[in-house]
Structure 1
């Protein structure tokens, strides 16, 4: 049951990131005329206010790194004999780190594939 809650928390975080990357906002988005004419708060000197792609990717990589470091430190504490660390917690943390890393690798692979597709497009 604890593992299921972690999956739900991951889904919530993914939805939050999706909303942050949306150029025109979420369900409470602006009217079409505001998007076209540059509604208040959406444009600043002709540019769309949204997080930079590089910033989002670096945050994601840093989050994966944090999960891996937490897993590693938990495993080291268990090996040292810390009574507060249970082997199931260590295994769950290890699996979380593995899933997070695999997801990051898949995103990287898709980005590389998209880049290659764009570069191979005829002009």
Structure 2
């Protein structure tokens, strides 16, 4: 892994960490007119991120197959593995959501 890849990965991790931390000052007040992020929006953004990762990996693979200069095998393999991991994580989240939904639906009232 090159130094640039490590720095990019660290920057992404810091951005995600900052987004996940609860911050009372950044939370909009009720009635402020600003739409709040809800679970549906978060899910859409996550799916879009996975799709973008897969598209990037596919483009890098095609670029490497064409023999474009500047595209080396380690970068392509890293992008493909990152796309695979993000897809597997998304699948696991989906499975957990389906299980939770089924558990709720099977509860007796």
* TM class, shorter-length: 0.7 to 0.9
C-alpha distance 122-4 of structure 1, shift in aligned 2 (>3 A): farther
Determine helix, strand or coil for the equivalent of 1:84.
coil
C-alpha distance 44-109 of structure 1, shift in aligned 2 (>3 A): same
Which string of whole-angstrom CA distances, capped at 9 and with x for unpartnered residues, describes residues 29-84 of structure 1?
A: 37xxxxxxxxxx42128xxx631211111111111001100100100000001011
Matched, 1:75 2:61: yes
Residue matched to 1:107: 93
Work out which structure has the larger RCO, using CA pairs closer than 8 Å and 6 or more positions apart in sequence: 2
Of 11, 14, 18 in structure 2, the residue corresponding to residue 12 of structure 1 is 14
Q: Once the 2 structures are TM-superposed, how far is the Cα of residue 5 of structure 1 from its aligned partner?
A: 4.9
Q: How many residues align?
A: 104
Gaps of 5+ in 1: 20-24, 31-40
- TM-score, normalised by the number of residues in structure 2: 0.78
Distance in 2 separating the partners of 1:71 and 1:108: 22
Moved more, 110-119 or 49-58: 49-58
Gaps of 5+ in 2: none
User: Which has more radius of gyration?
Assistant: 1
